[in-house]
Amino acid sequence: MFKLQATRVVQNELYGIWEKGGYEQHPQFRRVQHWSHGTIWLDKRPDLSNYNEEQGLNLYEQFDFQDWTFEDGRHEWTFPEGMSEEARTAVLSLDEEGDLTDGGWEVVESETWFYGPLVITEA
């Protein structure tokens, strides 16, 4: 088992609610989370010979992993113009209290990127 650590993590997620044949029937919003550091655990040592600290590494595109930790984050939100202030406030409250899926929201798209220097250690 190997531990891959980064000093900068960006997680970009699009949320929607499935309704009557598609997500398009309900407003969608985006939550971008910026983490100051993160770790994923991998079964085998990754090949990072082509890694560029500025371009980053899309974790889900490169690796199959089940366990991770991301720490010390902040969120940015992008809501559609047609979404009421009441609905926006409900989403923010739900996020503070727990998981957005508790309110019926589902992740439609998700990308998680590592940037900056990476450290690989045997775990």
Q: What pLDDT tens digit does each residue of the chain (123 aa) get?
A: 999 999 999 999 999 987 766 766 778 999 999 999 999 999 999 999 999 999 999 999 999 998 999 999 899 999 999 899 999 999 999 999 888 988 889 999 999 999 999 999 998
Contact call for residues 122 and 6 (beta carbons, < 8 A): no
pLDDT number for residue 8: 95
- CA-to-CA distance for 98 and 54, rounded, in angstroms? 32
pLDDT number for residue 19: 72
pLDDT number for residue 103: 86
Residue (of 107, 88, 38) closest to 67 by Cα position: 38
Q: Bridge partners of 89?
A: none
Residue (of 54, 66, 48) closest to 113 by Cα position: 54
pLDDT number for residue 104: 87
Helices and strands: H and E segment counts in the chain: 2, 5
pLDDT number for residue 20: 67
pLDDT number for residue 107: 93
